[in-house]
Each structure stands twice: as C-alpha cells, then as structure tokens.
Amino acid sequence: MQTSKVFFDVVMSLDGFIAPEGMDMAHADDPEYKQWMNKWMQLQHWMFQQKFFRENLNLGEGGETGQDNRLLEATFQRTGVSIMAKNMFTGGERFWPEEAPFHTPVFVLTDQIRQPWVRPGGTTFYFVNDGIESALHQAREVAGNRDIRIAGGANAIQQYLNAGLIDEFTIHYVPVFFGHGTPLFTKMNPDIKVKVREAIPSQEVAHITYEVEKE
C-alpha cells in the first residue's frame, strides 16, 4: 500500500523561472557569476531570513519564526527521501556544508557510476543510472511513512510530472521578473490537470500548493 506522496517544492519568479540565466558553478569567481548570484538571491532572500533555514545550513543564529519559517520546517519534516539530478548535486557538492542539509537518503539521477557518498548528519547520496522510475522505486523503499521530494532541477521535475508520478507541488512565487533563465514548465503534457489546494500569502512571497488530479 502506497503511503508516501511524491511532491516538489520550488521558488519561482513571476515569469516562470526557478533560476536566472547564466548559472556556471565552474566560474564562481567571475563577475558574470556574481551577477547571477545577485539575481538568484532575489529569489532566495526570503528563505535566508528564516530561522529554520539558517539553522539547517549552519548560517548562524537568529531569523524569523513566522508563517514562512513554519512552512519551510514542515516541508523538511515531511521529507523522508529526496531525488535530484546530477547538475543540482554537482553544485551542492561544492557549496553545501559538510553536514549536507537533507539528513535523509538522496538519490541522484546520473550516468556516473559511483559508490554511495555518506555525509555527517544522516545524509547518504546514492547514484542511480537507470532512470527516474528506478530512482522512485528505490526512494519508496526507504521513505517510510514520510514523503518523497523531487528536489530538482527543472528537467527532473518536468520528467516526473509528465510521467504522472507527482501527487502535489508547492510553488513559492517571488515578485521578481527575470526575462530569461531556467523555466520550470517547458514541454509539458497538456493533459495534466491540477487544482489549487492552498494559497498562503506573506509580505515577500506567495505560497501556492497544487494537487495533481489523477484519473
């Protein structure tokens, strides 16, 4: 009996981008990267103000403890396992603290053959070479009674959504426009039907949760 829900939870600009154009982790010291980072921080600023987020990434004490903070903590608590694409992992491998911020198993979609990578604090990365459904099957085996998060990036989310494997998702809309960047929804299956389950506004962001209607 399936008990775990499959979901994703992302921050997005009003014109549909989850990252600005020009992301290149290999050139983090270049001025262009710094411009990219400035734009990216426009999306993420609200998260960095939250007490739970700051503590989870070892960014120091303090932070807000209101509704936005409670939503971030609830998402973390419901997640028993995450699935992410190789590009997202590559960036995180470079910039996450030694104690990676998941504290659960993480399955990485990749062509790379690699042994599991165990980190302090309960995070272990497993590298999956045979597709999204295999990763999901393995994730279900270790999720327990918690949910499975498709962490990103956009292409991985699109694949799971188009395959009918997503149950619900939350988008945190930040009032900025990028014009160009990494779009969340491209080449989507037009037969997918969703409905709004919950809408929660705050001063910096609007949190909208959608339920995917199953046939």
Given this model, what pLDDT does residue 211 score? 98
Q: How far apart are CA 116 and CA 182, in angstroms?
A: 29
Distances (CA, A) of 187 to 19, 22, 116, 155, 209: 18, 21, 32, 10, 21
Q: How far apart are CA 159 and CA 148, in angstroms?
A: 15
Which residue type is seen at 211? E
Query: In tens digits, what is the pLDDT along the chain, a chain of 215 residues?
Result: 557 999 999 999 999 999 888 765 555 566 666 777 888 899 999 999 999 999 888 888 899 999 999 999 999 999 999 999 998 898 878 778 788 889 999 999 999 999 999 999 999 999 999 999 999 999 999 999 999 999 989 999 999 999 999 999 999 999 999 999 999 999 899 999 999 999 999 999 999 999 999 87
Q: Which residue segments constitute the domains of the chain, with CATH numbers given? A: 6-212 (3.40.430.10)
Overall pTM > 0.85: yes
Given this model, what pLDDT does residue 29 score? 61
CB count within 10 Å of CB 9 equals 21
Given this model, what pLDDT does residue 2 score? 57
Dihedrals phi, psi of 152, to nearest 5 degrees: 135, -175
Q: Which two tokens stand for residue 37?
A: 């980072």
| CA angle (105 as vertex; 101, 106 as ends), nearest 5 | 75
Nearest to 22 by CA among 38, 44, 46: 38
Q: How far apart are CA 35 and CA 214, in angstroms?
A: 41
Q: Any residues with CB less than 8 A from the CB of 63 and at least 6 apart, and which?
A: 49, 50, 51, 52, 53, 54, 55, 69
